[in-house]
Structure 1
Amino acid sequence: MYQQKTKETENSVIEFIENVDQPQKREDAYRLLDIFSETTGYPAKMWGSSIIGFGSYHYKYASGHEGDAPLVGFSPRKAKISLYFATGDEARDNLLEQLGKHTAGKGCVYINKVADVNEDILIALINQSVQFLKETYPPAE
């Protein structure tokens, strides 16, 4: 049976950020921590060994595959900072066009530093993702 690799842990978010090698990435991680916390209202939690997530939802696909994931999150990785937003919504694509300097993969948005992006658009992306996922995967009654 499939075992989900990235699960919420009890590891310390602050300790994780303090162990980020590059001073600029560490500073950006603290800025993102503030932005994501204030925007979502959810406490930051570690997901796996390197993702800082906010809130959670339970997904179940037609294939039967299911699991839990953060509503939004980020990870200050060595090369770039990964931002995690919901995919599958046209509003996300429209907001990304206004975000600033970034690249986007299937599920991640990559930035070099927070100063490269428009923080108001970042906040809009966070809100859009949370709303989209809550509507797509409503909590079980």
Structure 2
Amino acid sequence: MTDVPTFLAGVTPERRHREAVELDAFFQRVTGWKPVLWRGGMLGYGTYDYTYASGRSGNFLATGFAPRKARLSIYVMPGYSDFGPILTRLGKHAKGKSCLYLNKLAEADMEVLEELIRAGLADLAKRWPVHPT
């Protein structure tokens, strides 16, 4: 299993590597938690336990990111709340159900991204137990 420093060192291209290192420091500062490398090249900060009405249960990252070659994926789990008012101030992005996509980290307002991560964690903690990593 690859450790976090080895994973970060292997991120390419060089711009994406720099962004990944910056995001790792950012998430550690914002959450106060250490990163854990998840399957699929996702760095997670904190975890949460869930049980669906179907009875299916599990554990997943509470927030984090994946430095994909095409764009950065930022995870705000599990995506229940409407963070539209925050997202309008973030900068250029696209969004999915529980993540948002940034082509360039420099196009995002980092203070707004911090606000989004904190709001996402607060919302998640209302629904599921969240644990530090």
Q: Which residue of 2 aligns with 1:110?
A: 101
Give the aligned CA root-mean-square deviation in angstroms.
1.2
Determine helix, strand or coil for the equivalent of 1:75.
Answer: strand
TM-superposed CA distance for 1:11, in Å, is: 3.1
Q: Deviations over 1:98-129 (max 9, x none)?
A: 11000001222000121010000110111111
- Report runs of 4+ in structure 1 exceeding 3 Å deviation: none
TM value normalised by structure 1: 0.86
Structure 2, gaps ≥5 residues long: none
Report whether the alignment pairs 1:137 with 2:128.
yes
Determine helix, strand or coil for the equivalent of 1:11.
Answer: coil
Q: Which residue of 1 aligns with 2:47?
A: 56
Q: Which residue of 1 aligns with 2:61?
A: 70
Q: Which residue of 2 aligns with 1:39?
A: 30
TM-superposed CA distance for 1:138, in Å, is: 2.9
Q: Which residue of 1 aligns with 2:86?
A: 95
1:21 and 1:28 mapped to 2: Cα distance?
10
- Equivalenced residues, count: 129
The structure in which a higher percent of residues are strand is 2
1:64 and 1:39 mapped to 2: Cα distance?
32
Report whether the alignment pairs 1:23 with 2:10.
no
Structure 1, gaps ≥5 residues long: 1-9
TM-superposed CA distance for 1:49, in Å, is: 3.6
TM-superposed CA distance for 1:83, in Å, is: 0.4
1:97 and 1:62 mapped to 2: Cα distance?
33
1:122 alignment partner, one of 86, 94, 113? 113
Q: Deviations over 1:31-59 (max 9, x none)?
A: 10011000000101101140000000101
TM value normalised by structure 2: 0.91
Q: Which residue of 1 aligns with 2:4?
A: 13
